[in-house]
């Protein structure tokens, strides 16, 4: 992923009010290893039920605000992230909803999906088993996972941007 500036991030959002955009906290951009990401995802330190995703789409940064559901999965239940397709304990996957862009979102129309609670999908897809006869090239496994994650993220984004 190409690096993003604070101005690019703040200017990329399509489904957030000006008030919420001004209050949004950003992650430490100087700490991010950009080449190991398909998207920048973070939870708001001051609004615990809010998360954000920003990524490059057709050469332009696109940002999506997410709202985490308040309910948690019961202990012992497992779940799978829609983006990275990693099976995890239920408490590590959260139902997020994104208001649709434009008037539809302001009228309450949303799109929801299950995503890693910390929005750390890019790190999870890079965990590969040791090289073996079944998986001779770990780099190709990561590339395939990254391609799938990017495709599913783009599909979700299209749903958010589409008028209901």
| pLDDT digit string, tens, across residues 29-78 | 999 999 999 999 999 999 989 999 999 999 999 999 999 998 766 667 89
Q: Does the pLDDT of residue 164 top 60, yes or no?
A: no
Domain assignment present for 1 = no
What pLDDT band is residue 144 in, cutting at 50, 70 and 90?
A: very high
Please count the structural domains in the chain: 1
Q: What is the span of the domain harbouring residue 79?
A: 6-122+129-161
Domain assignment present for 147 = yes
- Residue 68 corresponds to which tokens in the numbers above? 């985490």
Domain assignment present for 110 = yes
């Amino acid at each position: 992923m190409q690096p993003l500036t604070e101005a690019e991030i703040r200017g990329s959002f399509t489904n957030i009010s000006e008030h919420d955009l001004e209050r949004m906290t950003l992650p430490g951009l100087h700490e991010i290893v950009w080449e190991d990401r398909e998207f920048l995802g973070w939870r708001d330190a001051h609004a615990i039920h809010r998360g954000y995703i920003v990524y490059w789409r057709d050469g332009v940064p696109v940002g999506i605000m997410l709202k985490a559901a308040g309910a948690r999965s019961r202990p012992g239940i497992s779940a799978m992230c829609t983006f990275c397709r990693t099976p995890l304990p239920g408490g590590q996957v959260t139902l997020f909803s994104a208001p649709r862009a434009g008037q539809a979102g302001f009228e309450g129309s949303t799109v929801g999906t299950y995503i890693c609670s910390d929005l750390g999908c890019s790190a999870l897809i890079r965990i590969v088993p040791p090289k073996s006869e079944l998986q001779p090239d770990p780099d190709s496994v990561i590339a395939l996972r990254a391609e799938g994650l990017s495709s599913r993220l783009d599909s979700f984004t299209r749903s958010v941007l589409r008028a209901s």
